Chains A and B, each alone.
Chain A
Amino acid sequence: MSKLIESKEGLRVLLMGNEAIARGALEAGVNVASSYPGTPSSEIIENLSRVAKERNLYVEWSTNEKVALEVAAAASFANLRALCAMKQNGVNVASDFLLHLAGSGTRGGLVLVSCEDPGALSSANEGDSRHFARMMEIPLLEPGDFQEAKDITKWAFDLSEEIKNIVMVRSVTRMSHASGTVWFGGLPKPEKPSKAAFNVDGPFFDQETGPVTSIPVAWHHPVQQEKIRKAEKIFEKSPFNTYRGPKKPELLLITSSACNLYSREAIHLMGLENRVGLLKLGTTWPLPPKLLKKYLSLTDKILIVEEVIPFLEENVKILAAEQAGEIGVKTFFGKKEGTLPKTGEFNPDLVAAALSKILGVSYATMEPEYQKKSQSAAASVGPDRDLTFCPGCPHRASYWSIHKALQLDNRKGFVCGDNGCYSLGIWPGGYRTISTLHSMGSCLGLATGFGKLDTFGMEQPVLAVCGDSTFFHAVLPALVNAVHHKANVTLVVFDNGGTAMTGFQSHPGLTVNAMGEEAPSLDIARICESMGAKVETRDPFDLEETTTTLNHLMEEEGVKVLILRQICALSPEKRGKKRYQMRIDETRCIGEECSCNRLCTRVFKCPGLAWDQGKKKARIDEVICAGCGVCADICQAGAIIREEAV
Chain B
Amino acid sequence: MEPLIQDPYNIIIAGVGGQGNVMASRVVANMLSMKGYWITIGETFGASQRGGSVMSHIRVSAASIWSPQIPKGKAHIVIALEPVEAIRIMMTYGNRDVNVLTNTRPIYPVSVIAGEFSYPDLDEIKTTLDSLSSHVWMIDATDEAMKLGNPILSNIIMIGAISGLGLLALGLEEFMTVIGETFPEKLQVVNKRAFEIGRNKVVQ
Given contacts A14-B39, A174-B68, A370-B132, contact A39 B50 (CB under 8 A): no
Asked if A122 contacts B44 (CB within 8 A), the reply is yes
A389-431 CB contacts (< 8 Å) to partner B: 389-390, 421, 423-424, 428-429
Is the pair B120, A365 in contact by a Cβ cutoff of 8 Å?
Answer: no
Chain A residues near B38: list those with CB within 8 A: 180-181
CB distance from B51 to the nearest CB of A (A): 4
Chain A interface residue count, CB cutoff 8 Å, equals 73
Q: A607: CB under 8 A from chain B?
A: yes
> Which residue of A265, A378, A576 contacts B90 across the interface (Cβ within 8 Å)?
A378
CB pair A385–B16 under 8 Å, yes or no, is yes
- Give A14 to B118 CA distance when docked, in angstroms: 41
Contact across chains for A607 and B88 when beta carbons are under 8 A apart:
no
**CB-based A-B contact count at 8 angstroms:** 202
Q: Which residues of B, 107-135, contact A by the 8 Å Cβ criterion?
A: 107-120, 125, 128, 131-132
Chain A residues, CB < 8 A from B87? 377-378, 380-381
A residues within 8 A CB of B91? 371, 374-375, 377-378
Contact across chains for A269 and B71 when beta carbons are under 8 A apart: yes
Separation in Å of the B30 CB from the closest CB of chain A? 6
B133 shortest CB reach to chain A, Å = 10
A272 CB to nearest chain B CB (Å): 14
**Which residue on chain A has the smallest CB distance to residue B94?**
A374
Collect the chain A residues with CB atoms within 8 Å of residue B150's CB: 576
Q: In the complex the two chains form, what is the Cα distance from A601 to B109 in whole Å?
A: 12
Which residue of the partner chain B has the closest CB to A182?
B65
B188 within 8 A of A: no
Task: Count how many chain B residues have C-beta atoms less than 8 Å from C-beta atoms of the other chain.
Answer: 61
Is A465 positioned at the interface, with any CB of B under 8 Å from its CB?
A: no
Q: Which of these, B46, B66, B116, B131, contacts A121 with CB under 8 Å? A: B46
Whether B46 contacts A501 by the Cβ 8 Å rule is: yes
- B203 contacts across to A, CB distance below 8 A: none
Per-residue CB contact flags for chain A residues 4-36 toward chain B (1 = under 8 Å, else 0) read 000000001110100000000000000000000
Chain A proximity mask over B93-111: 1 for CB below 8 Å, otherwise 0: 0111000000001011111
Question: How far apart are A268's CB and chain B's nearest CB, in angstroms?
Answer: 9
Chain A residue with Cβ nearest B51: A388
B40-A613 in contact (CB<8A): no
Q: Are A122 and B45 in contact (CB under 8 A)?
A: yes
Residue interface mask B38-80, A partner, CB < 8 A = 1: 1111111111101111000000000001111101111000000
Q: Are A385 and B118 in contact (CB under 8 A)?
A: no
Instruction: Give Cα A609 to B74, complex, Å.
Output: 37
Q: How far is the CA of A601 from the CA of B90 in the complex (A)?
A: 30
In the complex, B155 has a CB within 8 A of chain A: no
Q: Does B40 contact A180, Cβ atoms closer than 8 Å?
A: yes
In the complex, which residues of chain A have a beta carbon less than 8 angstroms from the beta carbon of B40?
146, 178-181, 261
A386 touches which of B42, B46, B109 (Cβ 8 Å): B109
Q: Does B166 contact A (CB under 8 A)?
A: no
Knowing A39-B45, A122-B45, A179-B40, the reply to whether A387 touches B50 (Cβ < 8 A) is yes
26 A-B residue pairings within 8 Å (CB atoms) = A14-B29, A14-B39, A177-B43, A178-B43, A180-B41, A258-B68, A265-B71, A266-B71, A348-B69, A375-B91, A377-B87, A378-B90, A380-B87, A380-B128, A382-B84, A384-B53, A385-B16, A386-B51, A387-B47, A388-B50, A388-B51, A421-B47, A429-B51, A603-B114, A607-B108, A623-B151
Contact surface of A with B, Cβ cutoff 8 Å: 12-14, 16, 39-40, 121-123, 145-146, 173-175, 177-181, 258, 261-262, 264-266, 269, 347-349, 352, 365-367, 370-371, 373-375, 377-378, 380-390, 421, 423-424, 428-429, 501-502, 576, 598, 601-603, 605-607, 609-611, 613, 621, 623-624
Residues of B with Cβ closer than 8 Å to A? 16, 18, 26, 29-30, 33, 38-48, 50-53, 65-69, 71-74, 84, 87-88, 90-91, 94-96, 105, 107-120, 125, 128, 131-132, 142, 146, 150-151
